[in-house]
């Protein structure tokens, strides 16, 4: 039977398991995951939710603008002259008119737009287009972050492959040194031959150690950039690329941005059109005034009320609307030029990319042949070293040549991967 303390301990372990799992360094990381981690930490990308909220509030404001407008007003006025009716004293006059030089009014005024010429609806369409433009601008920023990730990933892959080469070279040197030590014991070689092997072994270890520190720095920098802890041996997963000579279609967020920018210009053109439409509104006033605002015969405080219709129709604007349209036309032309320039720059990269891919492929073939030949020579010298025909210096020199050849092959293979990754990323192909 489990006692209470054991139950509490079990519960504690269960609660700690998710935390332990969460805090464990990541063992696998794909490019897409890396992009998502960085995007979640990049502050400007959080603007998308803010932009949505702003849009909905602006639409709400436009809906409120269609509701009747009620205001409380007070007005006082002092004038140099007023209405006065003077008659001859001998004439019989049933009334007199003598308005005071000052007047006071306090009233409530209601105003309601009956017909706005479609202005409100066009403003809503403009807000919707502006939202899409701003959201697409965020997507352009999001896309630009990928290059930072790619540089780290390619750098880590290159250093790891170089580390493997150093490991193979060290393993071979250790084997050869053991054979040289045996030859020294039998008096076939001098002890200095072992020393030469040890010096080369230390040089390789120093290079490998320097590489290990650089690799650790890259992984730490990538970890800090993404905001997640990565294991030292984290497996980096790249997308499956087809043949490097294939040219992917352009799928950049800028293409969509140009489209919504054009739509924004069209929406502003509609706004100019409805600005010239007649607008009809109803209004009403009710309040107190002194003297009576509606009866010039009443000089006392009196209530009053007014209802009416108001038509606003701008007949002429001194060509302002025409100039505004010309400005929009020029903006559209400027946008078209920007889009054509963007597409031109994208297309112009194709020839250079294919040329670079073909150059690297040809160089890699040469590097493979050179590395294989250097390896064959090293095998022959290894046999000669074991037989005591050559010195350890001869073998070390050839081992260094073989290592350099392998490194050159590795560098160019990585450069091929980097070039394809950069080109496909630049075109938004994944």
Asked if residues 410 and 364 have their Cβ atoms less than 8 Å apart, the reply is no
Q: What is the phi-psi region of residue 277: left when phi exceeds 0, alpha when psi lies from -120 to 50, beta otherwise? A: beta
- Is residue 131 pLDDT above 50, yes or no? yes
Within 13 Å and on the Cβ side, how many CA atoms surround 418?
17
Run of H or E including 248: none
Give the model's pLDDT for residue 70. Answer: 93
pLDDT bracket for residue 20 (50, 70, 90): very low
What is the per-residue pLDDT across 254-303, written as a single tens digit (0 to 9) for each?
Answer: 999 999 999 999 999 999 989 889 999 999 999 999 998 998 888 889 99
Q: How far apart are CA 230 and CA 24, in angstroms?
A: 9
Give the model's pLDDT for residue 369. Answer: 97
The total number of residues written for the chain in this structure: 430
% of the chain exceeding 70 in pLDDT: 92
Mean model confidence pLDDT for the chain: 88
What is the per-residue pLDDT across 366-396, written as a single tens digit (0 to 9) for each?
Answer: 999 999 999 999 999 989 988 888 888 898 9
Fold classification of 28-79+116-278+313-426 (topology level): Outer membrane efflux proteins (OEP) (1.20.1600)
Give the model's pLDDT for residue 152. Answer: 93
- Is residue 18 pLDDT above 60, yes or no? no
- Is residue 311 pLDDT above 70, yes or no? yes
Give the model's pLDDT for residue 23. Answer: 60
What is the per-residue pLDDT across 32-58, written as a single tens digit (0 to 9) for each?
Answer: 999 999 988 888 888 999 999 999 999
Q: How far apart are CA 163 and CA 208, in angstroms?
A: 6
pLDDT bracket for residue 86 (50, 70, 90): low
Higher pLDDT pick, 92 / 5: 92
Give the model's pLDDT for residue 429. Answer: 77
- DSSP three-state, residue 277: coil
Tokens coding 370: 């050179």
Q: What is the phi-psi region of residue 187: left when phi exceeds 0, alpha when psi lies from -120 to 50, beta otherwise? A: left
Average pLDDT over residues 245-261: 91
- Is residue 165 pLDDT above 70, yes or no? yes
Domain limits of the chain?
A: 28-79+116-278+313-426
Q: Which residues pair with 304 in a beta bridge?
A: 287
- Is residue 305 pLDDT above 80, yes or no? yes
Give the model's pLDDT for residue 134. Answer: 94
Higher pLDDT pick, 94 / 328: 328
Tokens coding 16: 């700690």
Residue with tokens 């160089």: 363
- Is residue 348 pLDDT above 70, yes or no? yes
- Is residue 14 pLDDT above 50, yes or no? no
Q: How many CB atoms lie within 10 A of CB 239?
A: 12
- Is residue 342 pLDDT above 90, yes or no? yes
Strand boundaries in 195-242, DSSP class E: 230-237
Q: How far apart are CA 250 and CA 45, in angstroms?
A: 23
Q: How remote is the C-alpha of 72 from its chain's centroid?
A: 48
Within 13 Å and on the Cβ side, how many CA atoms surround 375?
14
Q: How far apart are CA 279 and CA 276, in angstroms?
A: 9
Tokens coding 159: 């250093």
Q: How far apart are CA 374 and CA 404, in angstroms?
A: 10
Q: How far apart are CA 408 and CA 410, in angstroms?
A: 5
């Amino acid at each position: 039977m489990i006692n209470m303390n054991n139950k509490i301990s079990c519960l504690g372990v269960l609660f700690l398991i998710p935390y332990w799992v969460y805090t464990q360094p990541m063992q696998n990381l794909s490019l897409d995951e890396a992009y998502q981690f960085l995007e979640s930490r990049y502050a400007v990308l959080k603007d998308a939710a803010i932009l949505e909220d702003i849009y909905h509030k602006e639409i709400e404001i436009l809906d409120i603008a269609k509701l009747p407008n009620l205001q409380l007003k007070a007005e006082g006025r002092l004038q140099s002259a007023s209405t006065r009716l003077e008659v001859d004293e001998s004439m019989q006059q049933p009334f007199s008119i003598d308005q005071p030089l000052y007047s006071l009014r306090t009233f409530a005024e209601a105003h309601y737009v009956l017909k706005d010429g479609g202005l409100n609806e066009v403003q809503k369409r403009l807000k919707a287009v502006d939202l899409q433009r701003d959201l697409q601008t965020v997507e352009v920023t999001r896309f630009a972050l990928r290059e930072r990730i790619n540089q780290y990933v390619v750098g880590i892959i290159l250093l790891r492959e170089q580390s493997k080469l150093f490991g193979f070279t060290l393993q071979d040197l250790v084997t050869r040194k053991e054979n040289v030590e045996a030859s020294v014991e039998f008096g076939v070689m001098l002890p200095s031959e072992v020393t030469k092997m040890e010096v080369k072994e230390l040089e390789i270890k120093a290079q490998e150690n320097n590489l290990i520190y650089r690799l650790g720095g890259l992984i730490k920098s990538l970890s800090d950039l993404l905001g997640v802890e990565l294991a030292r041996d984290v497996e980096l997963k790249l997308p499956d690329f087809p043949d490097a000579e294939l040219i992917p279609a352009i799928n950049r967020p800028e293409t969509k941005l140009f489209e919504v920018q054009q739509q924004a210009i069209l929406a502003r053109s509609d706004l100019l059109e409805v600005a010239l439409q007649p607008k009809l509104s109803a209004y009403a006033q009710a309040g107190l005034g002194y003297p009576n605002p509606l009866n010039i015969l009443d000089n006392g405080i009196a209530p009053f009320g007014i209802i009416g219709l108001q038509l606003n129709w701008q007949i002429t604007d001194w060509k302002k609307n025409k100039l505004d349209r010309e400005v929009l036309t020029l903006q559209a032309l400027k946008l078209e030029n920007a889009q054509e320039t963007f597409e031109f720059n994208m297309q112009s990269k194709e020839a250079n990319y294919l040329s670079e891919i073909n150059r690297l492929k040809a160089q890699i073939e040469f590097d493979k042949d050179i590395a294989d030949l250097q390896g064959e020579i090293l095998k022959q010298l290894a046999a000669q070293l074991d037989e005591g025909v050559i010195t350890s210096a001869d073998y070390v020199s050839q081992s260094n040549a073989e290592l350099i050849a392998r490194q050159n092959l590795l560098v160019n293979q990585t450069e091929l991967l980097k070039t394809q990754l950069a080109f496909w990323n630049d075109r938004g192909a994944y």
